[in-house]
Structure 1
Amino acid sequence: MVVLFFAMVCGVYICSICLKQMSQNTKAKFLNIKVVNNDHQNSCPSSAHNNDIVLDQSLHYPQPGTFTREECGCNPVRYFAILSMQRSGSGWFETLLNSHINVSSNGEIFSVRERRMNISSIVKTMDKVYNLDWFTSASKNECSAAVGFKWMLNQGLIQHHKEIVEYFKKKGVSAIFLFRRNLLRRMISVLANSYDKDAKLLNGTHKSHVHSPLEAQILAEYKPKINVTLMMDELNKANETMTRAIEYFKSTRHIVLYYEDVVNNRTKLKDVQEFLKLPYRELESRQIKIHTAPLSKQVENWDDVQKALNGTSFGSYLY
């Protein structure tokens, strides 16, 4: 009986000690979690001035209203915009960027007229993109290290360049210019793409970009006829537009790339990643080039085009 009584007393004592320790551990864990969360929020730097020290203006810590960035909340994000012209390789280039695990480039968002009706709608759209509240199939919002979009020069960019330049400088947006050196090849691509919008050669559907050699072959069979009378004016206009755009945005942080250089020299892609201060990755695209034949095989009235451009400043485009 004495042994049994002693065992019961010991059992009660041990249980009381265990319950007390469990209660203390639970409280300690709760307090620890709370402290970690507070430290996490306060440890995120600011892209503005902090204690009279100017931090990197290109670093941002968005707080989207549509979701929480969770563990990536303190990961800095850089803003960029790809500035280009239609049929200059910008779609292919953007798919290369989006193959980087830390990049979200959201496509040609200003192709929708309502978004570029005035500078207010333009700024509102850009704010939504850069705050990570814009969702596309390319979005990697939670842990994006660089977020941007593709913008054609004729989509309000030149028209509102003063206000946009100020926005870029204020927000620390980096501009990536992507142009095509051979403007004749660009013209052929524009005409062929315009024709396919009506003809819909691929089983009744129009595709500006393709992902199979067969689709590329079908689209490449069409040979546009170039209006030689208007050709020189169109080439001059395109060249002047590119020059003017670079001049307008020269005060922003920018890089100028040419499609031909990116195709022939893949180190250019490394330069882009360094420009955006991204960890280096091998970039890939599933897009297939449509026009691969010599220019003489792509134009219906090639002899007329050749005769008109020979001896001019655009003569090099023939080769």
Structure 2
Amino acid sequence: MADDLCSFTKLQDAFISKSPKKSPLVLRMIVLMFVMVCGVYICSICIKQISNRTNTELLNIQVIDRPCPVPNIEPWEIPYVHYPKPKTFSRAECKCNPVRYFAILSMQRSGSGWFETLLNNHTNISSNGEIFSVKVRRSNISSIVETLDKIYNLDWLTSASKNECTAAVGLKWMLNQGLMQHHEEIVEYLRTRGVSAIFLFRRNLLSRMISVLANSYDRDAKLLNGTHKSHVHSPHEAEILAKYKPLINATLLMRNLKQVEDTQAKALEYFKSTRHIILYYEDVLKNRTKLVDVQEFLKVPQRDLKSRQVKIHKGALSNYVENWDDVRKALEGTRYQGFLHGEYRK
């Protein structure tokens, strides 16, 4: 009996001594399970919040960058409608106003300066001038493309820029300013970028020659108070410049006229695959409905366009050439004889 009691006492002591060892392990397991459950719950809440925030941000981005509605135009016009995103300013409420790209392709003293002032008189047209008169901009095709990209992205800022609400943007580009030299690459650029060409030439090439010579003389003489001006805005200034009568080399006259004629024909051939319109200075001067045609070509609202420029010479060309008799004899009986009777010149 005493032995049994002793054995029972030992078992009881053993049980009591082991119980404290099991109890902390169970508690730890319970705590661990609780922590895991809480962790999973917290993580699920965080993931849900992140997902909701991401969706919200994506929704906001979609709202900000939603595409502009397709304008009601003919299918063939689609490549010529653009929505520039300038880097230098925001188009704001006009960002969905479509913009057409154009380039005035011409030759010096063909009325392009006067014609450009007419276009810039329109509230929605920005023609940025003779950009490629600066040689470095036309030094290679890469420089040309870089400059064109800046112009058509509305990042080329001049006094002509209408910025936000521009509906047509372009420049004036002379044939001898890299245009003919890189014509293949430029034609490809105009076609792929949806740029329309406006050819502006002069019918009377003798009239143009007189203007070139007179302007070249004034570049050195600076007849207007020591200042050279290619275009004037007052009858008084025009009268001063018109007093100079250039002396034309009658021997080379036919050859020079043909050279200009061939250059114009070659330009039309090079760029015939582009969307274009052909204008002549004399026609625009005498028939202002030609300006209606231009505005229709650029798809801008019709406006009555005006220019402050004043014609330097008026009337018969014989009044503005020093050796007119020599010129007349050189052209009479030739296909250029009609140039002798040209009434208008700029």
Provide the secondary structure at the position in 2 that maps to 1:251: coil
Map of 2:153 onto structure 1: 131
1:44 aligns to what? Answer: 68
Three-state SS of the structure 2 residue aligned to 1:208 is: coil
Q: 1:101 aligns with which of 123, 126, 145?
A: 123
Matched, 1:176 2:198: yes
Give the C-alpha shift of residue 291 in structure 1: 1.0
- Does the residue aligned with 2:144 lie in a helix, a strand or coil? helix
Deviation at 1:233, TM superposition (A): 1.0
TM-score (ref. length: structure 1): 0.85
- Residue 64 of structure 1 pairs with residue 86 of structure 2: yes
Looking at structure 2, the residues matched to 245 and 290 of structure 1 have their Cα atoms a distance apart, in angstroms, of 28
Q: Relative to structure 2, which stretch is displaced further, 250-259 or 288-297?
A: 288-297
1:273 equivalent in structure 2: 295
What is the identity, as a one-letter code, of the residue corresponding to 1:240? D
CA shift in 2, pair 1:272/1:40, >3 Å:
farther
Q: Is the Cα contact below 8 Å between 1:197 and 1:206 reproduced in 2?
A: yes
In the TM superposition, what are the counterparts of 1:154-193 in structure 2 within 5 Å?
154-193=176-215
Give the match's secondary structure for 2:277: strand
Q: Distance in 1 between matches of 2:163 and 2:254?
A: 44
For residue 148 of structure 1, the aligned residue among 170, 176, 192 is 170
Deviations 1:245-284 (A, max 9, x none): 0011110000000000000000000000000011100000
Distance 1:41 1:285 in 2: 40
CA distance in 2, matches of 1:196, 1:179: 23
State whether structure 2 residue 132 is matched by structure 1 residue 114: no
Residues 155 and 46 of structure 1, relative CA distance in 2, 3 Å threshold: farther
Kindly provide the CA deviation profile for residues 85-111 of structure 1, in whole angstroms up to 9, marking residues without a partner as x: 000000000000000000000000000
Q: In the TM superposition, what is the alpha-carbon distance from 1:293 to its structure 2 partner? A: 3.2
Match of 2:251? 229
Match of 2:237 in 1: 215
Equivalent residues of 1:60, 1:78 under 8 A apart: yes
State the distance in 1 between where 2:61 and 2:228 align.
Answer: 51
- Structure with max Cα Rg: 2
Matches within 5 A, 1:198-213: 198-213=220-235
1:287 and 2:309 equivalent?
A: yes
Contact 1:46 1:60 in 2 (8 A): no
Contact 1:178 1:258 in 2 (8 A): yes
Matching residue of 1:17:
none
Distance in 2, matches of 1:256 and 1:59, equals 21
Deviations 1:109-145 (A, max 9, x none): 0000000001100000000000000011000011100
Give the C-alpha shift of residue 54 in structure 1. Answer: 8.8
Q: Secondary structure at the match of 1:186?
A: helix
Q: Deviations over 1:43-88 (max 9, x none)?
A: 41589xxxxx997010111111111111111111000000000000
Aligned residue-pair number = 281
- Per-residue deviation, 1:150: 0.1
Unaligned regions of 5+ residues in structure 1, if any? 1-34, 48-52
Report the secondary structure of 1:56's partner residue. helix
Structure 2 equivalent of residue 13 of structure 1: none
Contact kept? 1:146, 1:276, Cα under 8 Å: yes
Instruction: Give the 3 Å change call, closer, same or farther, for CA 92–55 of structure 1 in structure 2.
Output: closer
Moved over 2 A (4+): 35-41
CA distance in 2, matches of 1:55, 1:208: 37
**Contact 1:46–1:61 (CA under 8 A) maintained in structure 2:** no
Q: How does 1:244-255 map to 2 (within 5 A)?
A: 244-255=266-277
Is 1:258 equivalent to 2:275 in the alignment? Answer: no
How far apart are residue 38 of structure 1 and its match?
5.3
Which letter maps to 1:96?
Answer: L
User: What is the letter of the counterpart of residue 135 of structure 2?
Assistant: R
Q: How many angstroms does 1:36 deviate by?
A: 9.6
1:298 aligns with 320
**What is the CA–CA distance in structure 1 between the aligned matches of 2:307 and 2:63, rounded to whole Å?**
41
Task: Determine the C-alpha separation between the residues in 2 that align with 1:235 and 1:40.
Answer: 57
Q: For residue 42 of structure 1, what is the amino acid of its counterpart?
A: R
String of CA shifts for 1:272-301, please: whole Å, max 9, x gaps: 000001110000000000011311110000
Task: State the TM-score, normalized to the length of structure 2.
Answer: 0.79
Task: Supply the distance in 2 between the matched residues of 1:66 and 1:46 (Cα, whole angstroms).
Answer: 25
User: AA paired with 1:308?
Assistant: A
Distance across 2 between alignment mates of 1:192 and 1:148: 28
Alignment partner of 2:126: what SS? Answer: strand
